[in-house]
Structure 1
Amino acid sequence: MREIFIERDELLLRIAIKDNGKLEECFFEEASKDPKIGEIYKGRVKNIVPAINSIFVDIGLEKEAYMYLSNELRNEGIKKGDEILVEVIKEPINNKGAKVSKNVSIPGRFMVLTLGGNGINFSKRINSQEEKDRILKAISNVDGYGITIRTEAVHAGDDDLIKEKDRLLVEFETLIKKLQYSLNLGKVYGENIILNKVLTENLNTKCKIFTNNEEDLNEIYSLIEESNDIVVEKFNNARSLFDFYGIEKEILKLRHKKVALNCGGNIVIDKTEAMYVIDVNSSKNIKGRSFDKTILETNLEAAKEIGRQIRLRNLAGIIVIDFIDMRDFSHKSIVMDALKEALKEDKGNIKIFPFTELDLIQIARKRRGKSIYEYLEEKCKRCHSEGFVLKLSYIEKLIRNEIIKVEEESSINSFYIELDRNYEEIVRGDEFSFLANISSLKNEIYLNFVDGIEGYKIEPLIFKSQKENVKNYLINAYEKYE
């Protein structure tokens, strides 16, 4: 059974997906005005530069977007000053604006409509000709639009398919009216884009959804309509949803380079300036009598876990995998098939290349938003930005959850906290905000900054002797609240 956990606070939306109790994917979206993948904007062609095959588009934001000057656009006669609809296909990076495309699409649960396309295409995962014929009888071509039938369509009735197609056409009609009659440049489609995208891509016949936000709850109901196989539950607890269901601990593990395998081996994931490198090690897996079988067993388990880790960590760009050397050529084929199977659910644009002469596998994966590291970590100031530490905002969230959990189980309201010294300057500069962020304006907090710990440590203080031992670390900022 698939479970989807949706947690939203003022600054961040987080979504986690589990299949049969195992965490498979995570999505994060920070509250910002920056364009996000899948959003659609009304833009105006600002400049065309044939020398670099680029078109720069004003989309109503500080940074201009850009797209490639393709032969199709040349034939259309696109020119400076034209007002067009564009879809974000790559988020802005550093000083570079968002990359956009004129091939604008709106996804539904069962199909995707693309403006300017033609005909009806099917997902590669739909193999049944009988199902294809049924769907083609239910829906017809639409002039000026391309229709891509998604895998989930095989579970939908004819009425559901027709209803969704009509809904998507109405949405496009609204966008076209905004293009023609609105005087303003800017976003015309894509509110709550991450939530909608994740739900339309991951709802299947049996699914349970948890959310802590009332508006998201209404959005979910509008998407699933009347489905008896999808259960929706509103989460009401002072602790965060991710902490309550143990997802927070699993996310923290993703910072570790080494991932243990059940067979005794492990994989090590390293990030370089140019690529990700994944190394497979047999380690403690020496129980088998046959060397080749032991290697195959380790590589097969590694292939499955590598596919999961790529999706979980949202690794993108070039990924190189160094499996344990296999002397039997047929074993390489088995491992390759296992890797492809592990990545078949990946909705990103991914390409897996054959084994090289050095027995390496190369993967090219299109960037789908930010990697999980970009949400969890920030550059370490004390080592001149050469290393990374957990973001203070994330540390505060973890501490807050622990304090609330203790308060639920007892009447303790005094805590001793150790923080990595990397955070000292910023916390000392605004201790009141730190206390507010960990929900401890009315608690007694003893705070110490130390070296050599990963993030933080926290200890409830029960006895007077405990408080006496740390009295010099008491924060007095809570007096401002009173």
Structure 2
Amino acid sequence: MREVFIDRQKSILRIAIKDNNKLKQCLIQEKVKKPLPGEIYKGIVKNIIPAIKCAFIDIGYNKNCYMYLDNKFKNTNIKKGEEVLVQVLKEGFGKKGAKVTNAISIPGRYAVLTFLDRRLSFSKKLQDKDFKRYAAKNIKKPNDVGVIIRTNAVIAGIDNINNEIENIYKVYKEIFKNFKYSLKPKLLFDNGGILGKALRDILNEETYIVHTNNIDDAEYIKKFISDKEEIGLDIDVHTDNRDLFECYGIEKEIVALRNNKVPLKCGGYIVIDKTEAMYTIDVNSGKNVKNNSIKKTVFITNMQAAEEIVKQIKLRNLGGIIVIDFIDMKDEEEKKDVLSKLEQGFIDDKNKTVIYPFTELNLVQIARKNLGKSIDDYIEEKCICCKGRGKLLRLDYIEFLIKNDIFKIKDNAKDIYIILDDYYKIPIQKNIDSFIENINALDKNVYLNFEKLDEVFKVEPLIFKNQIKKLEKYKVYPNI
């Protein structure tokens, strides 16, 4: 049984998926003024650099995005100053702009419309030959676009598939109309962001309830499922004053993901680290010493690691390049089994994921499409004290957690004592009023102290007068 939790805050949207009450995935999208994957823009070519086969395109932001030029994309003849229709593949990072393509596609739940390839084709994961033959004869494909039939189509019925194709085609025509008549670079289509993608990819016949804290999102979901006969679910609008994720224990599970060491049932463990260019995952046998055979110990550890790695990649929403350092194995059949375990784990993954064979150094490389922020990027930031070598919780996330703790205090105490790690002293003191507002404590007396802490922060109510008097020097709000 599947539950979906959609938590919309002022500046961020979070979507959590639980299967049989276990957290399986968490998608995060911040409200930022920059191009996001899946969005379609009208752009103008600003520069072309033949040496790297790349065009730089203005789509209305400070940074130009970039597009690789390749014959297979039929874009090698574009000229400087030309207007182009592009879709964002990857967010910008640092000084680098977003990566875009002219191979535009618009996804639905049952089908994807493509602009360059005008064929009717099927998802590689769709294996039902009878359905494919039937669909090939009965799908109504417009002549000027391509259509890819998705795996969800098998249980949808041909009429539902054709209706969706017709609706997406109308969107396609509207995009091109706006492209033609717009004078400047601009956003033409966003397809609902991660909420739209989650509804298309995550909802299934096993989903029995969607919880959301936003009325508009509830209406959006109702409209989305109105013509999806295979989806029957309840929509719960969360009205409790407690945050949705806090109420269902999801916030604790997210914070626990800061731990980069994950234990395995056999006694081994995996270590997940992020570098500038990729994620690395190291597999260790640890306390797995039950077997007399080293070969068997290694194989069991690697198999359990493969299963856990799939779970962690989905749960932490890791994307880009992921390199796994398995314990050395010589047996080729055992290597095939480990790869098969990884492949089986991603078989239902809607993010495009490619798994490459073992290298000579026993490394496995995975390329996975980015979708929104990873859990690490959402809750952590680089430590300026050690020049980015360490990680700390982001201040805005700490404020969010403190707000939850204040709400949970019994009897709604008016005097609150907060201890924070010294690291956050300067940024908080620079704008103390903003801090108080962000923790939802404008109606409180706030006492704030900074110390070296292992747990980052503490929140406690001040009940007795002698407590308040003793801590009077730490009072920061209201500032009288």
- State the TM-score bracket (shorter-chain normalisation): over 0.9
Asked whether the equivalents of residues 265 and 298 of structure 1 are also in contact (C-alpha less than 8 Å), the reply is: yes
299-308 vs 60-69, which deviates more?
A: 60-69
356-365 vs 191-200, which deviates more?
A: 356-365
Describe the SS at the equivalent of 2:409.
helix
Aligned pair in 2 of structure 1 residues 9, 157: CA closer, same or farther (>3 Å)?
A: same
- 1:206 counterpart residue number: 206
Is residue 33 of structure 2 the alignment partner of residue 33 of structure 1? yes
Q: CA deviation at 1:102?
A: 0.9
Describe the SS at the equivalent of 1:63.
coil
Q: What is the distance in 2 between the residues matched to 1:426 and 1:6?
A: 30
C-alpha deviations, 1:385-404, integer Å up to 9, x for none?
Answer: 43221111100100111111
- 1:62 counterpart residue number: 62
Q: What is the distance in 2 between the residues matched to 1:232 and 1:97?
A: 38
Q: CA deviation at 1:338?
A: 1.1
Aligned pair in 2 of structure 1 residues 393, 323: CA closer, same or farther (>3 Å)?
A: same
When the two structures are aligned, how many residues end up with a matched partner? 477
Q: 2:309 aligns with which of 297, 306, 326?
A: 306
Q: CA deviation at 1:479?
A: 4.8
- 1:412 counterpart residue number: 413
Describe the SS at the equivalent of 1:339.
helix
Q: What is the distance in 1 between the residues matched to 2:83 and 2:39?
A: 17
CA RMSD of aligned residues (A): 2.3
C-alpha deviations, 1:180-237, integer Å up to 9, x for none?
Answer: 2222320010063221112111121121211111221122122111545222211112
Asked whether the equivalents of residues 73 and 116 of structure 2 are also in contact (C-alpha less than 8 Å), the reply is: no
- 1:147 counterpart residue number: 147
C-alpha deviations, 1:432-474, integer Å up to 9, x for none?
Answer: 2212111112223222111132321222333444434433322
Q: CA deviation at 1:114?
A: 0.9
Aligned pair in 2 of structure 1 residues 131, 178: CA closer, same or farther (>3 Å)?
A: same
- 1:345 counterpart residue number: 348
Q: What is the distance in 2 between the residues matched to 1:76 and 1:357?
A: 37
Tell me, which stretches of 5 or more residues in structure 2 are unaligned?
none
Q: How does 1:8-157 map to 2 (within 5 A)?
A: 8-71=8-71, 77-157=77-157
Tell me, which stretches of 5 or more residues in structure 1 are unaligned?
none
Q: What is the distance in 2 between the residues matched to 1:318 and 1:47?
A: 28
- 1:255 counterpart residue number: 258
C-alpha deviations, 1:74-119, integer Å up to 9, x for none?
Answer: 6784333332211111111222222211111111011110123212
- 2:287 counterpart residue number: 284
C-alpha deviations, 1:217-274, integer Å up to 9, x for none?
Answer: 1221221115452222111122211111111111112211111223332111123344
C-alpha deviations, 1:104-160, integer Å up to 9, x for none?
Answer: 111101111012321211112211111112322331332121111111111102221
Asked whether the equivalents of residues 280 and 324 of structure 1 are also in contact (C-alpha less than 8 Å), the reply is: yes
Q: TM-score scaled by structure 2? A: 0.92
Q: What is the distance in 2 between the residues matched to 1:35 and 1:144?
A: 27
Asked whether the equivalents of residues 43 and 58 of structure 1 are also in contact (C-alpha less than 8 Å), the reply is: yes
Q: What is the distance in 2 between the residues matched to 1:270 and 1:301?
A: 19
Q: TM-score scaled by structure 1? A: 0.92
C-alpha deviations, 1:271-308, integer Å up to 9, x for none?
Answer: 33444322222323334566544443332221111011
Q: What is the distance in 2 between the residues matched to 1:74 and 1:147?
A: 18
- 2:221 counterpart residue number: 220
Q: What is the distance in 2 between the residues matched to 1:72 and 1:338?
A: 33
222-231 vs 54-63, which deviates more?
A: 222-231
Q: 2:364 aligns with which of 358, 361, 369?
A: 361
Describe the SS at the equivalent of 1:209.
strand
Q: What is the distance in 2 between the residues matched to 1:302 and 1:473?
A: 48
Asked whether the equivalents of residues 260 and 271 of structure 2 are also in contact (C-alpha less than 8 Å), the reply is: yes
Asked whether the equivalents of residues 138 and 161 of structure 1 are also in contact (C-alpha less than 8 Å), the reply is: no
Asked whether the equivalents of residues 175 and 189 of structure 2 are also in contact (C-alpha less than 8 Å), the reply is: yes
- 1:393 counterpart residue number: 396
